[in-house]
């Protein structure tokens, strides 16, 4: 407990606190929830940790103790505290494409991430799943990474960022990748980076750019897939977006207002803009407050919403916030785990 508080105080003092795990940990109490699946949960393979730390040092970024101190056991402790049975592992925010690496080096690190996660899954049966990373800076090697992850490591899906080097997922460059993932009926989980456009904007003292920028970039990814027709073309991909879609549920009306008279509307959005957005999947990270949750549940049915924490940046306090939303027991259960089991049938068996 004391260490955690010190840690939090240290992070705040460093002025770089991206987010802080909830205090008030009840060490031995039985968790209020059980059997929860967390679809937004981060991990650091040693090779990947070194890479991101080297990049941070070269770019004068504040080191984040939550990352340096992360271990599989820290992850399990938080899961046990919250009553989370299984957490789906994915990479946290990536900068400069894939930390400035070329594609070959990026592929090496990505393979190390896959193997590390596979070991976590086999060491701790039933506790972890994997949304495997792709480098996304190079199409050919990304395709090979997908093959390795899905065929060799048996990843549960793919986990990528909402943009890489300013390229958004609807860019036709990625079409062969979506074709392959569509053929495999893959789950594709999108995480938000602080994109290069916006990380240095001087919004104000003490504002971590991650506060707003990752949600904005997530929204751009949704729009990019919509505007380029990828949502309509790749019907078998199960798209899962972080942070309740970024800001998508709130600016959906504006998107529709701009697109409703577009000549190609029927091609890119056969169900209309709102209809297409309602078919996507969204996690609950940082949108369990009443206003955002109201917007999300008006945009998408409960069946499209999965629970996520964004650990170690945020914690299972969000389970408690979710309890306050007045959901029916069956809706809460669907968000906690039922929807994830439908998306990822392996989890129903573990």
Tokens linked to 316: 């299972």
The one among 142, 161, 224, 339 contacting other proteins by CB under 8 A: 224
| Contact status: 205 vs other proteins (CB under 8 A) | yes
Between residues 82 and 170, which has the closer beta carbon with respect to other proteins? 170
User: Is 104 an interacting residue with respect to other proteins (CB under 8 A)?
Assistant: no
134 within 8 A of 158, measured Cβ to Cβ: yes
Burial class (CB in 10 A: 0-12, 13-18, 19+), 93: buried
Binding-site member from 72, 133, 244, 338 for other proteins (CB under 8 A): 244
Q: Under the criterion CB under 8 A, does residue 294 sit at the interface with other proteins?
A: yes
Q: Which of 4, 59, 185, 254 binds other proteins (CB under 8 A)?
A: 254
**Cα pseudo-dihedral 112, 163, 171, 264, rounded to 10:** 140
From the list 252, 250, 245, the residue with the least C-alpha distance to 308 is: 245
Cβ-based nearer residue to other proteins, 57 or 290: 290
Gap between the Cα atoms of 87 and 255, Å rounded: 33
Stretch that binds other proteins, among 28-36, 62-70, 113-121, 226-234 (CB under 8 A): 226-234
The single residue among 39, 90, 161, 286 that binds other proteins, judged by CB under 8 A, is 286
* CA 329/CA 338 separation, integer angstroms: 12
Output the CA torsion sign for 142, 220, 18, 79. Answer: negative
Closer to other proteins by CB, 135 or 288: give it: 288
Q: What angle, 0 to 180 degrees and rounded to 10, lies between the N-to-C axes of helices 248-259 and 290-299?
A: 40
In the complex, the residues that contact other proteins under the rule CB under 8 A are 8, 12-13, 15, 17-20, 166-168, 170-171, 197-198, 201-208, 210-212, 215-216, 219-221, 223-224, 226-228, 243-244, 247, 249-259, 261-264, 274, 286-292, 294-299, 314
């Amino acid at each position: 407990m004391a260490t955690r508080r010190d840690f939090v105080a240290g992070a705040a003092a460093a002025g770089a606190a991206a987010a802080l795990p909830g205090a008030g940990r009840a060490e031995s109490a039985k968790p209020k929830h059980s059997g929860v699946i967390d679809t937004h949960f981060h991990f650091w393979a040693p090779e990947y940790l070194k890479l991101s730390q080297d990049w941070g040092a070269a770019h004068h970024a504040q080191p984040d103790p939550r990352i340096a101190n992360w271990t599989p056991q820290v992850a399990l402790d938080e899961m046990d505290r919250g009553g989370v049975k299984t957490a789906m592992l994915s990479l946290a925010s990536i900068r400069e494409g894939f930390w400035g690496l070329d594609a070959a080096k990026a592929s090496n690190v990505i393979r190390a991430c896959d193997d590390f996660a596979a070991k976590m899954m086999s060491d701790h049966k039933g506790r972890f799943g994997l949304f495997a990373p792709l480098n996304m800076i190079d199409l050919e090697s990304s395709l090979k990474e997908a093959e390795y992850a899905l065929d060799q490591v048996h990843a549960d899906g793919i986990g990528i960022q909402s943009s890489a080097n300013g390229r958004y997922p609807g860019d036709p460059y990625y079409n062969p990748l979506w074709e392959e993932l569509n053929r495999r009926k893959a789950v594709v989980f999108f995480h938000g980076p602080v994109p290069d456009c916006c990380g240095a904007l001087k919004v104000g003292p003490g504002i971590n750019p991650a506060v707003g920028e990752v949600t904005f970039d997530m929204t751009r990814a949704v729009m990019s897939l919509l505007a380029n027709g990828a949502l309509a073309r790749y019907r078998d991909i199960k798209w899962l977006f972080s942070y309740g879609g970024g800001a998508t549920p709130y600016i959906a009306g504006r998107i529709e207002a701009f697109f409703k008279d577009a000549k190609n509307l029927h091609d890119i959005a056969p169900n209309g803009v709102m209809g297409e957005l309602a078919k996507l999947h969204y996690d609950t990270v940082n949108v369990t407050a009443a206003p955002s949750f109201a917007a999300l549940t008006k945009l998408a049915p409960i069946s499209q919403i999965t629970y996520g924490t964004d650990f170690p940046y945020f914690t299972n306090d969000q389970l408690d916030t979710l309890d306050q939303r007045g959901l029916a027991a069956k809706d809460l259960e669907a968000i906690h785990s039922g929807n994830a089991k439908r998306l990822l049938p392996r989890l129903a068996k573990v």
